Amino acid sequence: MIFDDDLTSCAELVQQADPDRFLATMATPVAARPLLFALYAFNIELSRAPWASQESMIAEMRVQWWRDIGAEIQQGGPVRRHNVSTPLGRLLKPELAINIDVMAEARRWDIYRDPFADEAAFAKYIDDTSGSLMWMAAASLGEADEAIVRRFAYGVGIANWLLAIPALEAQKRVPLLDGTAKGVQKLARHGLAELTAAQKARHLVSKEASAALLAGWQARGILKQASQNPERVANGSLGQSEFRRRTGLIWRSASGRW
C-alpha cells in the first residue's frame, strides 16, 4: 500500500510519541508497516484520550469517540474522516474491531484515580490493552494462536507498565496493587513467565504474524531488571543502552525469534 497523507501522519505520530514501536515497525517487512502504523497511531490517540481533560465527562466523551470508531469498522461501512481512523478503517479486519471497544473500556480506568480492585482487575486491564492491541496486529498480518499472542503481549504489557510507573504516580494514580520491592519482583517474574511460555510455543505464530510481536523486543530485559533491582522501577531507570536496544532489535528481526 502506498503511504498517503493519512498513513504518513500515522507514522510520524508513532515516531514522535512511541519511538520504540516506530523502530520495531521499521524492522518489519514493508507490507506489514501500513497496518502497524495505523494501529499504533490509534493506540496513542486512545491512550491520550483519558488525559485530555481534567473533566471526567470530557475524557469519557473522547474515549467514547474511539468506541464509536470501532463500531463503525465492525459494521464494515464508512468510517468517519480522521487521519488515524480513516486508514485504520481501511486496513483492520471488521471482525477484529471488537478489540477497539475492549481497549477503550479498559482505558476508562485512566480517567479516574481509583486503584485496581484486585489482581484479576489488573490482569484484565493489561490483557485488554496490550493483549488486544497485539492480537489485532498479529491476526491482521497472518495466522496465529490468540492465546499465545496474548501471553506474550501480557509480558510486554507488564514491562511497559513498569516503565510508566513514575509518570502514573506523578499523576496521583495508584498503578500497583503491591508497590513494595517484593510486589514489583513478583509482578516482573510473572511477566517473564508469560513471555517464556509464549516463546516456547512460537511455532504457533506464523512468520507473517510474528511481525506484530517484534514490538516486544525489549520486554525480557526490562522485566529482568525489575526482578533483580526493583528500585529501578520507582526511580525510572529501567531500560538498556541505545546500542543494546538497537542490536537486540536487529537480531530479533533477522532471526524471527521474538
How many Å apart are CA 39 and CA 108, to the nearest integer? 19
Low-confidence residues in the chain, pLDDT < 70: 1
Q: Phi and psi (nearest 5°) for 144?
A: -160, 150
Buried b (16+ CB within 10 A) or exposed e, 22-50: bbbbbbbeeebbbbbbbbbbbbbbbbebb
Q: Chain-wide mean pLDDT for the chain?
A: 96
Residue 205 sits at φ, ψ, to 5 deg, of -120, 120
How many degrees, rounded to 5, is the angle at CA 139 between CA 137 and CA 142?
Answer: 105
What pLDDT, on the 0 to 100 scale, is given for residue 2?
A: 74
In tens, the pLDDT along 79-113 reads 999 999 999 999 999 999 999 999 999 999 999 99
